Structure 1
């Protein structure tokens, strides 16, 4: 095994007020359903070193902490010293055997400034007994909400609060779990709930989302510029944001644009559609910079765009459709309707519709590949890699480039 055979995933870890505290970095083989860390200690160490030297932690993490799984084999060898303690948190996996020698080794790493977390903790007697010596030593304790009963989380968490470690709720899948974690006093949160929120009922769709849907519908149905301009004028907030966007330095407009009609003409329908969809994802949080959903979908869209260019060529014309497909692929969680209803509402037909509803066609294949490479609970599709003549390293490089691009967008546009 070597590092070219590993696929990278990245999952945000959030604070109580919705800011990104850090990311868990997930390395695994294509076709496998779990993290790769336990397969080969030396190979994993090479991946980590390669990540630091060749790709750069700053691009990957954007100044946040990176959480990485390790086992006792890695801890007991002198290989972690090459990694920067100020950037990384080492997660001690749940099947680690805690020996006296391991405790002493962790103490030495702690003296050098390295930080540790207990991963996938659940409240069994065996787990609690095995890891009790580490409770006072680690910086984070990650409680697995998928394996823990609510009564255990509510009552046994009290014991953990005696220690200095920050409590992190992981595998938070539902709003109910998130609210319980808040109530119990967890400080950090991780799970699909934040990247793939619960579908809300149609009756609870915010007025602002309905207005954006109307505008997207007009753009998708080739409505006249007059109708689009009129709808914008009925939404002063969107009109102001559109003017701010078009007058930003990104567009290099020589004179200030004051007319909505002029702004729409300069921006173009396709770019306007993309901007409105980004507003939808950002609206999940009052401050768009806090939205993990927005970050996730931008990463997906950019990765699909780069993959399309790599597989089908720059001049194939599919890259723009790939970006748009990635951008709208998670809109159903915003509106609380099925993908089919959403496509009909937006008047989207053809290849993009087939990709979203059925994961079919070239765009659907790109979407499936990105989805499986992002999700550690799903096997990466090796057949798609062969079909597209891609190596796993190609996918990893494209995902790194996407991380870098999203970080640049956040700096340039404050999103």
Structure 2
């Protein structure tokens, strides 16, 4: 459920001053009650400050921040206790590997009403339910063909009492009970709403009649980006435990979040982790990579990540270089992977407001990647030059010919550019898990 009545909450007395708010990160939680009035779960909500309303410009980024703050910031026990947390999920995050950071026995995936049904969505929901997740459909307010198509893949259906007339609520409730779904009445704001929902056989209840969202806060970590980028560079190179441990020891704030992750119930260890090495082994490199990506995703600055021109430039450049490498050396996966990494890290100095040499010296990248970015040396350096010219709309064919890549003709370069742009657009619509 996205927040209702935001305007009337704008004057909430807990509003923090900007300089104070900047020192903390926040998560909102609203109780979900059962038919006996007992606490059943919480819905977790994005909050930019202590004021009790949302300012969401990007659903995926907001959810990433909620998950990062719940698991790695405030901590699952402090936020949820022994209960489950409902988390809003848009299509991008639904198809992202990041969703698997959430232990399925603790989190319910609440599919936003903006997510539309198709065959790929059905397959993904089947996968997630098979992994143990419960799926909730959000903001349902009328019968529809889309709702009918989604029902086989849902466990819980949330009916919006502010938008739905009582007769429609009754009709929906009867139909959904016939399909064996758990019914959740959301946006219950009056005693009359609650009585009606109870009469219609709803199982769960949520709204301002019971409680406004509570805002939880924890001190904000200083920027994690430098450490996360080094960590991702190591992971991309299949670094061993010793290397990962050494890197993590240099980044206490990342370690704290990693330990909170591994000590959550996600791993079912039944005990606390006593050492950093044990945490790395228990978590696994794939899960660490997911976590690092989530934290970067949640810390993308003021712009939604889809609208950030730097994100688009890094993505399209790296993909262009990967495609060009594949064109030049079909089947040479190492060369293509190195080309992609060169494109990704060629813009890191802008993110960190530094110089390429200063940033890359600390990342431990392969020498050929570092030399390509810093000095435009080698084949990777030539590909980077070609990508820069092509990305700026220039004629990259002479650059390719001078670099000894005559196969990169103007037509080929044009096709690669279009393919890279199309790949970025498709990635925004539906990232592959």
Normalising by the smaller structure, the TM-score range is 0.3 to 0.5
Larger relative contact order (Cα-Cα within 8 Å, sequence gap ≥ 6)? 1
TM-score (norm 1): 0.43
Higher helix fraction (1 or 2):
1
